[in-house]
Chains A and B, each alone.
Chain A
């Protein structure tokens, strides 16, 4: 009985994440369009995109590793979703905790590296080595945030964090207790989501090089799915750590959409950073803020 319940949750959580992620992609595109004074895509555009990508012929495949790479990228996020508690569904949250999550979020980038590394395209390799560097850039402040937060709540269990914040009201929310760490997280959020202005390694559409060139048909579809999960994951993590998570979807959903929307709308105003600059930027300001924030909460 208990096992069956868990199984349903494990299935349901990624599906929910996917659906919400699709909505987030749509929202992000709309925001981008508004800022650039365009109308933006129709509501069902993300779904059309996925259908289109999967129905297209896969022009080139670079063997087993290529496919494993994409599976790892998507699979890593699917596994991460089961660790993220959402209203009504806890999944594996009380078994994994923030530390496991931090490790899980590393997998997709590694999967990409594995897959794209297999391609003959030298520009793909360059793109991926940039991606890995960018990951390193945001990971260090991200870990700083995670462990500052777990220090304050005294636990790494995400479900427990939510309970604490829900029981003690807004005053106990992470964003009130540790504004500096929250700000740090907000700064690195676009990088975690792999979005503007830290996405030069992906360089979608505009540049005819980069890893995307090697990704046609189902691979591109896989990456698109991954993007949905990516946005969702980033939003939920931030909400869980700093905004009290949610007991009901009705309060939870606005929070996660807001978390994704705010940095997106600001980020679109900036030009893309070069990878070296990302490293410099991330290790300077968010790091500094994070360390100060840590010093404040640890006293």
Chain B
């Protein structure tokens, strides 16, 4: 028995019962969601503290792997599960007309995200992923404008396309190996998936799971959705949910797919993502879409990092992901009141000096100005790229550096407007206290990271090392062999 499953089960239970609770007491319905998430976060933290170097595996229903479904908790997965839970808590969606539904959706998102981060079964990952997708449709559409419906529908089309492809990829994997358990796949993959079929399965799943990770060809939804969804939802999607999709791709790369071609595919798509995302952000004239495009670019950097073979790549991708996890939600929260045309921002620093200062700090970190954490994260990507000594990897370095100067350009265009003293016709509204407090909290995390760089890097390194430790994964899950016990 392990309490870890409660991180998934409790939010689902609360979400199911929320409308019934609301009938009894609307106050209870308002507070129960955050309370449940606090409880699950506490469970996650307690498991984290006892985790140490030994990952844990839980079999749902007590059935032996690979027959049942495995829940695999290492620091890597648990980190993102906690990020999802705490992130949802911080960015608890507010909606005027649909508060009850929004609360249910937020609970579902937290539970699903934790499950996605911890799941050790291929099809189970697919189901979790689909649920998270559906929940994000709801969160986007909960704004209730016709634009949010249209962008949800377009998102749904791309997502549905990707999900079906991922399903086909899973079919190919099961066809080749006869198992869906990641640990067992890790055992048999070198023998059975190191061929064209395995590569095809990887590409199909990459496209499928890449939709949420804002992978290059399937990220057309990003600017529309982030421009039409409420800013808290955008912050959740761009900050946390995209990282979870990335985590799946990382897991698949580490455990199942070892083809060198797979890395090349990632590298090329990553480069294209960075180039298109940053150029589009440079051209964007409204803050929401600028941030959305820049998020595409950042995820492109993570894909480039993933394409570095071995431990260094996972470490670098993890560092960039964690940095982005703090940074993007804060930026979207600031964009809550500053959304719309950049030109309208003239002089906004006057009404909200704290927010403006914070925006400067976040921008500097995003560009990668030393000594802010963003710089070290990017350096972790660039350095191993340079040692690989291949033209395409060098080109990736060039793209990342060029992207940094583009970022500097467009972000400081915004900063300049903020500090412009010419008044605009419409006076600026100050930020909501909760938004600003959350953003300051996240920004404070960034600054704190500057002073704890070395221990932080060590910790991330150990997390990455644990994530890439395939043999421990197999030993912990210990799937029974399929040979012999068949008629």
Contacts and interface: CB of A to CB of B under 8 A. Distances in A.
Interface string A123-162: 0010011001101100110011011001100101000000
A65 B394 CA distance: 37
Interface stretch (B186-194, B205-213, B303-311, B362-370): B362-370
A253 interface: no
A75 B394 CA distance: 30
A99 B349 CA distance: 32
A103 interface: yes
Contacts of A150: 386
A241 to B, nearest CB: 15
B409 A136 contact: yes
Interface string A89-133: 000000000011011101101100110111110100100110011
Contacts of B406: 136
A65 B421 CA distance: 12
Interface in B377-436: 378-379, 382-383, 386, 389, 391, 394, 397-398, 401-402, 404-406, 408-409, 412-413, 415-422
A27 interface: no
B422 A120 contact: yes
A154 B406 CA distance: 26
Contacts of A128: 416
Given A104-B370, A156-B386, A298-B391, A109 B422 contact: no
A65 B369 contact: no
Nearest to A96: B370
Nearest to B408: A106
B174 interface: no
A120 B421 contact: yes
Nearest to B356: A65
B390 to A, nearest CB: 10
Contacts of A129: 413, 416
A192 to B, nearest CB: 12
A53 interface: no
Contact of A113 (B349, B404, B416): B416
Nearest to B418: A117
Nearest to B378: A103
Contact of A118 (B378, B379, B419): B419
A114 B360 contact: yes
B48 interface: no
Contacts of A298: 391, 394
Contacts of A104: 370
Given A106-B405, A106-B408, A122-B422, A147 B397 contact: yes
A114 B404 contact: no
B92 interface: no
B402 A143 contact: yes
A186 interface: no
A261 interface: no
A238 to B, nearest CB: 18
A106 B404 contact: yes
Contacts of A133: 409
A99 B401 contact: yes
A180 to B, nearest CB: 16
A132 B419 contact: no
A203 interface: no
B388 to A, nearest CB: 11
B420 A110 contact: no
A62 B422 CA distance: 13
Interface string A26-50: 0000000000000000000000000
B413 A132 contact: yes
Contacts of B378: 103
B370 A79 contact: yes
Contacts of B408: 106, 109-110, 132, 135-136
A147 B394 contact: yes
Interface in B313-371: 349, 357, 360, 364, 367-370
Contact of B415 (A62, A100, A114, A151): A114
| Max count, chain B CB within 10 A of own CB: residue among A99, A150, A156 | A99
A100 B379 contact: yes
Contacts of B368: 103
Contacts of B360: 114
A232 to B, nearest CB: 20
Contacts of A147: 394, 397-398, 401
B402 A113 contact: no
A103 B370 contact: yes
B368 to A, nearest CB: 6
A106 B419 contact: no
A110 to B, nearest CB: 6
A41 to B, nearest CB: 34
A147 B386 CA distance: 9
B369 to A, nearest CB: 6
Nearest to B379: A99
Contacts of B386: 99, 150, 156
Contact of B367 (A62, A106, A116, A143): A106
A146 B404 CA distance: 14
| Max count, chain B CB within 10 A of own CB: residue among A62, A104, A110 | A110
Contact of B398 (A65, A125, A143, A156): A143
Contacts of B398: 143-144, 147
A139 B364 contact: no
B401 A117 contact: no
Contacts of A151: 394
A82 to B, nearest CB: 11
Contacts of B397: 99, 147
B402 A139 contact: yes
Given A110-B369, A135-B405, A118 B413 contact: no
Given A107-B369, A298-B391, A143 B405 contact: yes
Nearest to B369: A107
10 contacts: A65-B349, A99-B401, A103-B378, A110-B412, A117-B412, A125-B416, A129-B416, A132-B412, A136-B406, A298-B394
Given A103-B369, A128-B416, A143-B401, 14 more contacts: A99-B379, A110-B369, A117-B416, A118-B421, A119-B421, A120-B421, A125-B417, A125-B420, A129-B413, A132-B409, A132-B413, A133-B409, A135-B409, A140-B405
Going nearest first, the 3 A-B pairs with the smallest beta carbon separation are A117-B416, A120-B421, A139-B405
Interface of A: 62, 65, 79, 99-100, 102-104, 106-107, 109-110, 113-114, 116-120, 122, 125, 128-129, 132-133, 135-136, 139-140, 143-144, 146-147, 150-151, 154, 156, 298
